[in-house]
Amino acid sequence: MPETTTDSYKGRQNHIRTLDLPAIEVFENIYSDRDYNIHLDFPEFTAICPKTGLPDFGTVTIDYTPDKYCLELKSLKEYFLAYRNLGIFHENVVNRITDDILLAADMRRAEVKVIYGARGGIVTTVSRSYER
């Protein structure tokens, strides 16, 4: 462990991995015998910074190759709404979303990215890729 670890952060967001969030619904992919790509941009994502209690704003991008199921957009939007009043770090947002969409639709390939607005002069982008 590095000398300068911020103790006050440690373990503070472990509950995020198991937190209850709305289910993301899926629908049947009638072209599951083809390999193709779906790319979603959701420019109106907002959550709460756990340290300051102030809102964070970002653009969520989901890019995936469906297998048997596709993500249903209306339920996805409601799923994102659940973050509106949730205290959660940038890194955890991306990882939790990736885990949840993989669980819901078991894609062949997926990438999730969130680009956040500037905070204290720093712009943060977090992304994660998955390949079956």
Site for a copy of itself in 11-30 (CB under 8 A): 11, 13-14, 16-17, 23-30
Q: Report the alpha-carbon distance of residue 87 to residue 104 in Å, rounded.
A: 23
The answer to the question of residue 38 lying near a copy of itself (CB under 8 A) is: yes
Q: Taking the CB of residue 89, how many other CB atoms lie within 10 A of it?
A: 18
| CA-closest candidate to residue 69, choices 26, 38, 102 | 26
Active site residue 49: yes
16 in helix, strand or coil? Answer: helix
Residue 38 · residue 76 · CB < 8 Å: no
- Among 47, 76, 97, 110, which residue sits at the site for a copy of itself (rule: CB under 8 A)? 76
Q: Does 131 bind a copy of itself (CB under 8 A)?
A: no
Assess 101 for contact with a copy of itself (CB under 8 A).
Answer: no
56 is catalytic: yes
Q: Binding to a copy of itself by residue 110, rule CB under 8 A?
A: no
